[in-house]
Structure 1
Amino acid sequence: MKQPSPGNLSTVAADGIDRPFLLIGKDGNDLTAVPSWDALWRHSRGRHRGLSLRGAEHATYTDAEARAPQIARQLGLPRKTVVENIGTIMPRHAMAAERAYLAAFFDRWLRGWDDDCLLDGPSGCCPQARFFCLPGVRRGVESIMAGSSASPGMRREGLPSRRGRGCERRSGGGAG
């Protein structure tokens, strides 16, 4: 597969940043598919994580995610229209994962709280999430981390815990 051209990178992607950041994208988005993400990743010195949600499309991360299936039903639009816009992931699963990973990111790097290792690798509470890079691993993390809830030794010791605040608690009603 031919790598897309990086085109005109923004200054952020070209220069990188020294602050934490989290990239969350549609199914298939990773450092090989999105040149600006690869540039940002390579040029940044701050802590960062990247993941995509299986079955997600670009509009999964908008307000349309919850309303599109309902509106499509009311208008008699085919399922294909919904899938092209928000993907095949169930909106409640996508919203639970989005909330959990964003909260974990802010908890860890803004508040200094333990996020129960949600950002350290695949988690049973959010099975739709696919990490594309973790610390010390450039690409192919799924083959290395498959079936693991977190890598041994990646626990963040000494931080106040928020145990029990995984996907089900952050989403306000369950990820399943």
Structure 2
Amino acid sequence: MNSRSIQVGPPRFGIAVHALIWLAQSGGFVTSASIAGKVNSHATFLRRVLALLSQSGIVEAREGRDGGYCLKVVPEKLTLGDIYMAVKSEDCGGGEPVKGTECKQELESVKSTECNQAGEAIMKLDEALGSIMAEAEQQTIQLLAKYTLSDLMSHVDFCQLAEQISE
């Protein structure tokens, strides 16, 4: 199994981890286009992810001819939980509305008592499910906080990987 077949958080989490590993290996500034090619992601999506990481102080962004992104935190100190928290925002540019909000909006316009009762039941179910998902997310973050970027990097032979990519 790979990180893209198991969805534990927002899709940007896996891309963020991959990008940060490449930044850690580079040791300097790397363009988003270069990173996107290495992590098999669209450059625009990657820039949105990198913007979140920059806002969190994990990466530094530099504009201009010699610009790009570089890792600001040493891999041994950067936990997967830190990365998850940095990219978990509800909206990363054009995100979808939170589940249940469209029901609440529809509820306000529905006049029928029967429909309101059904809508209220749906809202209560959404609230209960939301509470369970929030608890699951907290447990996920606690687990991810046990591992650093460096721990993950120890599983990859970067010399061999670089040769495969350049072929």
TM-score of the pair, normalised by structure 2? 0.26
- Structure scoring higher RCO (CA < 8 A, sep ≥ 6) equals 2
Which of these two proteins has the greater Rg computed from alpha carbons? 2
Structure having the higher strand fraction is 1
TM-score of the pair, normalised by structure 1? 0.25
Structure having the higher helix fraction is 2
